[in-house]
Amino acid sequence: MLDSTDTRLLAALQRDASLTAQELSEALNLSASQIGRRKQRLEAEGYIEAYVARLDAAKLGLGVQGFVQVHLATHGPEHAVGFARLINAQPQVTSAWTLTGDADYLLRVYCTDLAALNTLIHDILLPHPAVARVHSQIVMDHLKRDGPLPT
Q: CATH number for the domain including 31?
A: 1.10.10.10
pLDDT for 45 equals 97
Same domain, 80 and 119: yes
Same domain, 68 and 115: yes
Pairwise CA distance, residues 15 & 24, whole Å = 12
Same domain, 23 and 75: no
103 within domain boundaries: yes
Q: Give the domain extent around 36.
A: 4-44
Name the E strands within the chain.
64-72, 93-98, 105-111, 131-138
109 within domain boundaries: yes
pLDDT for 147 equals 85
Q: How far from 63 is each of 10, 48, 67, 79, 142, CA to CA, in Å?
A: 32, 31, 14, 31, 12
131 within domain boundaries: yes
Same domain, 90 and 133: yes
Q: Give me the tens of pLDDT residue by residue for the chain, a chain 151 residues long.
A: 899 999 999 999 999 999 999 999 999 999 999 999 999 999 999 999 999 999 999 999 999 999 999 999 988 888 889 999 999 999 999 999 999 999 999 999 999 999 999 999 999 999 999 999 999 999 999 999 888 899 8
32 within domain boundaries: yes
pLDDT for 151 equals 84
Q: How far from 107 is each of 33, 93, 100, 114, 128, CA to CA, in Å?
A: 41, 6, 14, 16, 15
